[in-house]
């Protein structure tokens, strides 16, 4: 507990009161602050408890992910009685997509509460979603399922879960395009190569071919982003046919 107290004390000395900022985000008073301290402790701090167990948000991230999945699944199960297992699974994935969780984390400015030895500007986008999941996990440990469920409804379901809009939302253009190609028995391939050019940051270019014909090109700072960008462009080229699967 002294380790947690030391981390908490360092935050009180910073730009703002950790407890008060946290209470604004949660909408209720935390009972056991140590869970939330852990939820905002980055692995770069290299902190361990007396038993040698690592203290950072990654285990809470795992727990929060499970709680999000359970609450969202329960909501969809109730709201869409006609949806089969495949439909419900796809819809849940859209609600808890990495992109959406990252947006939620940014909206709440969770990164401002992180204790880390790494400058905030060096974090990738996914830390925002990771922190949101860790926060949900901390709420569950601190206050139980009902508080956790209420928080998820307040921050996700009520403002963002619109069944009709979700049905038309695409999570991954690459996955959708591959599924369509396989269904239509079309050959496809992503030719990715490094293309830094005059940029200081490393870039990659991709050529997406379908049935041996290049249908889209894209460039981005990672192979994954370049492939997704090219897939999105290809999606709009074949939108009428692909949209039937969504």
* pLDDT tens readout for residues 54-63: 999 999 999 9
Catalytic residues: 65, 133
pTM check: above 0.75:
no
Query: Which span out of 62-66, 84-88, 181-185, 195-199 was modeled with the highest average pLDDT?
Result: 62-66
Give residue 13's pLDDT band: very low, low, confident or very high (50, 70, 90): very low
pLDDT tens string 135-160: 999 999 999 999 999 999 999 999 99
> How many Cα atoms occupy the beta-carbon half-sphere of 146 within 13 Å?
1
Residue-wise pLDDT for 18-48, tens only, equals: 889 999 999 999 999 999 999 999 999 999 9
Please, what are the domains in the chain? 2-167 (1.10.1520.10), 173-245 (3.30.160.20)
Residue 139 CB contacts under 8 Å (≥ 6 apart), including other chains: 26, 147, 148, 151
Strand order in the sheet with 213-220: 188-194, 204-210, 213-220
C-alpha separations of 79 from 152, 170, 209 in Å? 16, 20, 40
Residue 67 has pLDDT above 50, yes or no: yes
Task: Report the distance separating Cα 131 and Cα 143, nearest Å.
Answer: 18
What token pair was written down for 222?
């990672």
Q: What DSSP designation does 52 have?
A: -
pLDDT at 103 over 90: yes
Q: Which residue is associated with the tokens 């999105």?
A: 232
- Pick from 138, 191, 125: which is nearest to 4 by CA? 138
Give me the pLDDT at residue 241, please: 81
């Amino acid at each position: 507990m002294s380790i947690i107290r030391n981390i908490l004390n360092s935050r009180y000395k910073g730009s703002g009161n950790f407890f008060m900022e946290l209470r604004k985000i949660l909408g209720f008073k935390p009972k056991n602050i140590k869970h939330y301290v852990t939820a905002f402790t980055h692995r770069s701090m290299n902190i361990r408890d007396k038993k040698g167990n690592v203290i950072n948000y990654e285990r809470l991230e795992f727990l929060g992910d499970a709680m999000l999945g359970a609450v969202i699944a329960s909501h969809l199960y109730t709201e869409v009685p006609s949806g089969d297992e495949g439909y419900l699974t796809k819809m849940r994935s859209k609600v808890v997509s990495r992109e959406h969780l990252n947006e939620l984390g940014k909206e709440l400015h969770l990164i401002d509460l992180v204790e880390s030895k790494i400058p905030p500007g060096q974090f990738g986008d996914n830390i925002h979603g990771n922190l949101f999941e860790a926060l949900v996990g901390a709420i569950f440990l601190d206050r139980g399922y009902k508080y956790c469920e209420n928080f998820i409804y307040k921050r996700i379901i009520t403002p963002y879960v619109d069944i009709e809009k979700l049905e038309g939302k695409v999570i991954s253009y690459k996955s959708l395009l591959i599924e369509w190609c396989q269904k239509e028995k079309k050959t496809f391939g992503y030719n990715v190569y490094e293309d830094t050019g005059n940029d200081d940051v490393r870039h990659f270019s991709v050529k997406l071919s379908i049935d041996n014909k290049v249908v889209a090109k894209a460039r981005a700072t990672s192979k994954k982003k370049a492939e997704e960008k090219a897939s999105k462009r290809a999606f709009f080229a074949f939108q009428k046919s692909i949209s039937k699967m969504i």
